[in-house]
Amino acid sequence: MNLMRNAAGGLAILAATVGGVAAVAFALGAWIAPAASLAEPTPTPEPTFDLAVAPDAIGGSLEITGDRTGSMMLDTSTGTGGRREIRDDGAVVVMPGEDTVQLSGVDGHIRLDARTGTVMHIAYDGLSIYLDPGQCTVTHGAINQANELMAALIECSDIADVRGQGVISVAGVVALPADALRGRGDLPPTGGIVDLEGTMITFDDAEIFLDGEPLQETGRIQWGIFTADRASGILVEYESEPDRLFLRGAHSNDEDASLEEPCPIAAEKLGRINEYTRVMRLEIDCIDVAVAGGGTTSVTGTIVAEVIQGYTDTLNEP
């Protein structure tokens, strides 16, 4: 910005010094310059989408045939990226639009389920088409490692408008975040059940966020997994060396158990959703472990969790 101010100041001084002479010279130069010397404006090339080429930007181009014909250019996206926000208290909040990804243009849109990478809905020229899994095929293509965008071929044959207004076929290439196109694949959904001294704690989903600050006294990172009403949950700890999770406590409406010593959790790596999210199956088998204040408790169960590590680094990238 300072550079621009300095440049503007220099131009003002120059204009004040030689303003009249420069104006005359400019006018004469424009009058005697041949028309051929004036450069023609260069048109901006239209974006192209190729399954074999790593994409630089989100978008797409679809060809429509059948009862409607034409091309649908897609240049606006919503719900992409699976964005999360981190609150001041360290909690991770999944933002709306996580489960769907939509590419839109002036003629319509295509919407995908980001959890599975399947096409859910297509709108074009007054047609509204809701799709079941398997009605469209999505073939994955090249990935741009710098921006994590993937090219994908979308093919939908003889798909019908929900109101019986027409039948079309759709084919073309889109560019979207690889996470949204791959979905979870065959990875199981998160959640599970833990037995705390006979009280069953059911988790509808589970995430463990490992980008927090470690505790000074132990060097471990703590994170809680809670039920939907947050009335029950477990407390886990993560130790980077040797990359291991521990159970630190559990609580329900009937019991609150803080373990005197962390109990190791057997963790099985099931796969990755993206570069910072891995899916793990946690087997908790803590029998007759000592609790703070005296006595013992038992905590057992199985949880499938998304373990997020390195996500905070992506927030600081330019």
pLDDT of residue 83: 46
CB neighbour class for 3 (10 Å; exposed up to 12, middle 13-18, buried from 19): exposed
Find the range with the poorest average confidence among 88-97, 138-147, 219-228, 284-293.
Answer: 88-97
Could you tell me if 312 and 293 are in contact, meaning their C-beta atoms sit under 8 angstroms apart?
no
CA distance 102 to 74: 10
Q: Each residue of 225-281: pLDDT tens digit?
A: 999 898 999 999 999 888 899 999 999 987 889 999 999 999 999 988 777 788 999
Q: Each residue of 265-293: pLDDT tens digit?
A: 999 999 887 777 889 999 999 999 999 98
pTM of the complete model: 0.59
